[in-house]
Amino acid sequence: MLKSMLTCCKLYISESRNAVALELIEQAVKAHPEAVIINKFKDEVYNRVGYTIVSQIIRNSLFDVTPLRNAVFDMVKAAFESIDLESHSGTHPRLGVVDHICFHPLAQASLDQTAVIAKSVATDIGQELQGACCFVQCRKFDLVVYSIDFIIYLVLQNVVPTYLYGAAHEGGRTLDSIRRELGYFKPNSSGNLWTGGLKTVMMDLKPDAGPLQPSPEKGVVVIGATRWVDNYNVPVWCTDIEAIRKIARKVSERGGGLNSVQAMALAHGDNCVEVACNLLDPSIIGAYQVQCEVQRLALKEGFQVGEGYFTDFSQEKIIKMYFKSLSSDPTGR
């Protein structure tokens, strides 16, 4: 079974406090029994939840088929129907209700196969979701007869600008380059918070699908396909976020630090700032090296450092958990 072709999707939702919305999002997967939620990482302070969903890729004579495509689309649809970005507040940056969707190949699957799935989901969001959201909005207004202009208005309000990266993008652009151009890393409120909907006009960075300007209720979606990425956060016990930002910069490759590591400092409670890291190639630089480097730099400044943690399981454990889930329940639930 470990030779099967599997695809993993990490889906990040800008919400962790609305239990009803999260239940609707999770219920959406149940229509696709071969797609399994392996992990749910919820952070109340960040007001963010990450889902790890896995399914097999079934190959036939014409094309590859995976239940993951439809499962992820239904989760996205449920999120847009139940969450309003304008009411969001948290200490983790975000660009949309569905902030980030990343696909990774597992077992014998290829990155090219994964990229096709990512682009298919982007197409689904850009085309099918447009009509679905318009219908929901019309029902909200309890309209029976609509003018063409009004329908166009509703469609434009609900189409979500979608950006592709990694193997899903023809030029192979990176996730952080999109985020940097869209102002992802700069808090838009006091107290190092991100609050409300997006206020930036997206004219300078054209999306791969959807309008140039996002709606404040939905924001934008960034979708990509890459090799496996580990997410590892290291808590530093202090309130001086500027000092920890300097440490995060020195840890990251961009700042001359560790190869294949991206890092940023995020407030996490009253007396904690986390160095949140993406390990783009864990086989080169893993969590141990990151932990040691953060400790070295923080101790020089007189800060105490806690033990870091992963926000997801390892690739190997995810594969085992997926097949165990299928064997213990043939429906995948």
- The three state secondary structure string of 8-26 is EEEEEECCCCCHHHHHHHH
List residues bridging with 54 in a β-sheet: 8, 36
The helix/strand/coil state of 118 is helix
Tokens representing residue 108 in the block: 């014998």
At CA 132, angle to CA 126 and CA 134, rounded to 5? 95
Closest by Cα among 122, 318, 143, 137 to 222: 122
The helix/strand/coil state of 231 is strand
Q: How far apart are CA 322 and CA 117, in angstroms?
A: 19
Catalytic entry in 32, 88, 92, 104: 92
CB 262 within 8 A of CB 254: yes
The helix/strand/coil state of 205 is coil
φ/ψ (deg, to 5) at 41: -115, 110
- The three state secondary structure string of 298-319 is HHHCCCEECCCEECCCCHHHHH
List residues bridging with 103 in a β-sheet: 9, 225
Q: How far apart are CA 324 and CA 311, in angstroms?
A: 21
Does the annotation mark 92 as catalytic?
yes
Closest by Cα among 258, 254, 256 to 234: 258
| Positions marked catalytic | 92
